[in-house]
Chain A
Amino acid sequence: MKKLKTDPKGVLTGSHYLDGDYALAEGALAAGCRFFAGYPITPSTETAERFSERIPYVGGVFIQMEDELASIAALIGAVWGGQKVMTVTSGPGFSLMMENLGLACMQETPLVIANVQRGGPSTGLPTMTGQQDMMQAKYGSHGDYEIIALSPDSPQECFDLAIEAFNLSETYRVPTLIMTDECVGHMHEKVVIPEADKIEVVERKWYTGPKGEYLPYKLDDDGIPFLTKVGQGHRFHTTGLTRDERGYPDLNAERQKIVVTHLIEKIRGNADKIIKLEEDQIENADVVVVSYGITSRVAVRAVQQAREAGLKVGTMRLITVWPFPEKRIKELAPHVKAFVVPELNYGQIVREVERSAWGKTKVVSVPHCAGWVHDPADILQAIKEAAK
């Protein structure tokens, strides 16, 4: 690939016709990501290819690792080397990353993983779409932790949310996942990339205190510890074990409570600031369709037809899936006849909706075993039933 015309920061400013996978790579570059370690897996590989083509011109490293365990381990190491980092994968590779996703949570390293979902379980449907890893994203690694997960519904949003993912991960020192899918990943649409100066990028919260006194897990006033990188003379330590402020192992129930509470509350306690939703005609709605990613675009047709038939239907698109917007669902539950939740799985996020609705209203799952998107007629049927 010839050098593309970018601005000095390497941002591909302008109007482009890109697929979601490429847009993820462009978003990462625009956010200042200069380290990518990955392993090829359909349908995410194009992001790695794009990054490997672009990185030599902007100064950074692309390395194709020997597997996904290595990819995410390299990312965590590279964070301590001072870089903003990203990888991209799909179902089987995502499974392999789970152990070190936990390490990234424990060591509080900001990194971005995009999962371009395909049908599973196992090798499943490598080239066909799915949304079956939504629970794995939150619960796939062992132990209690919180991550942030976003779900773009278009190539434009792949670009936008890639930047957002980096910003959130830096702000909260937490791995942030972009849970997209094969349809969005391979969909070509117009992607408008702003000028570099117009892109809001959150820089790392560097420790600037005295040499040798750095404490990797001492909380700042905002509850998030400062980061440093190797070679600054701090001679700091970090581990995957339960640790104290110095990063030294401290193996007892009291410390465990402090650490786990912190890892969870830094996300749950900031959920209102993190969560982004897109709502339409929710006031006075009888039925609210809750969806995310590609399914929210398929649901548009069903909602349109239901409204034409005189039904009062609102929509809620989850741009942020984790942390889950339980407060908003709980708020709406007493006022609607039902939530309808179509998703390309056998019913995952619908459980969160059910939980958040507290039995105050009906929650209808519109499952799909993945491989293709819903027939809008099935969603329409569910809306009609729910509205009765």
Chain B
Amino acid sequence: MKEEDRLEEKNPIEGLLRMDRIPHIWCPGCGIGTVVTSFADALKKTDLDLDKVAVVSGIGCTGRVAGYIKLDSFHTTHGRAIPYATGLKLASPGTKVVVFSGDGDLTGIGGNHFIHAARRNMDLVVICVNNFNYAMTGGQVASTTPKTANASTAPYGNFEGAFSLPYLADAAGATYVARWTALHLRRVSKSIEEALNRKGFSFIEVITPCVTLYARRNRLGSGLNLLKYYYDKSEIRHGADTRDLEITFQGKLTVGKFIERERETFLDAMNSHLSHVLGDDYQLYGRCFDD
């Protein structure tokens, strides 16, 4: 039998994965792989030169994404994916830089960097996999854990308020903000594609099941049960006021594309402002990289 006639199921995104690192470490029922698939799908649909796309992750379950994607990829320290990506982007403006990390990494320990990168409109695509807890370390309470939900360090239920990430991103100045769940595969992919094809700080939150920890501790059943929850309780409201996006325990999930606006990126603002103030003496930065 000829090689091409063999009936062998090939993963459609194999070319974008480091197959020499598969199998991955994620649990059965985890939603991170779903988001990775959507990301790969979006990459295939864009016209970007994939040699010029880089992925930066922090630490945690989602922090492992950088290790599986076959692009220039960087696994950094806890919370510092965004400033690391900022340096990468500014040093190499022709590179499309994607930050792929978890809720704890991006908005807990790394929250300060998140708001500042949004404020600067740093040209980054930030994909945040939100599973409502610190999963890699065993299911501790996070800045995103809904009130009353149980976590290993909130054994009697969480009594802190949670961040609503699209509201935070919007308030800080992000120029593209969307939220989906792991059920909305094609919509996640479309949002990532839109973000890849635009300039500026683009933020996509994807609510995903953490079956092993969050779901188990809260007796929410399997990954399928969580997808059912997403199906029952999500409501697509594009352009919704980001003040109304709070997530309560097993409550309504408002999803959609909330923000898409134009604003000068950090580098464009730097170049236009300094050219204006300093005139011909200013050495325009980054143009050579784009050519």
Contact = CB atoms under 8 A, between A and B. Distances in A.
B79 interface: yes
Contact of B282 (A57, A66, A75, A249): A57
B166 interface: no
A254 B158 CA distance: 42
Interface size, B (range): 35 or more
B52 interface: yes
B274 interface: yes
Interface string B71-87: 11111110110111111
Interface size, A (range): 35 or more
A259 to B, nearest CB: 15
Interface stretch (A41-49, A232-240, A351-359, A379-387): A232-240
B18 interface: yes
Interface in B77-114: 77, 79-80, 82-92, 94-95, 112-113
B281 A240 contact: no
Contacts of B113: 66, 69-70, 73
B67 interface: yes
Contacts of A80: 72, 74, 88, 91
Given A66-B116, A231-B52, A235-B51, A85 B87 contact: yes
A210 interface: no
Interface in B110-129: 112-113, 116
Nearest to A243: B75
15 contacts: A56-B283, A57-B278, A57-B283, A60-B285, A63-B266, A66-B112, A74-B84, A81-B92, A231-B92, A232-B51, A234-B72, A235-B51, A235-B71, A239-B67, A249-B67
Interface of B: 18, 20-21, 51-52, 54, 56, 66-67, 70-77, 79-80, 82-92, 94-95, 112-113, 116, 266, 270, 274, 278, 281-285
Given A57-B283, A81-B95, A235-B71, 20 more contacts: A35-B90, A60-B285, A70-B112, A73-B113, A74-B87, A76-B87, A77-B56, A77-B74, A77-B88, A77-B89, A77-B91, A78-B87, A81-B87, A81-B88, A81-B89, A230-B95, A235-B70, A235-B73, A237-B67, A248-B18
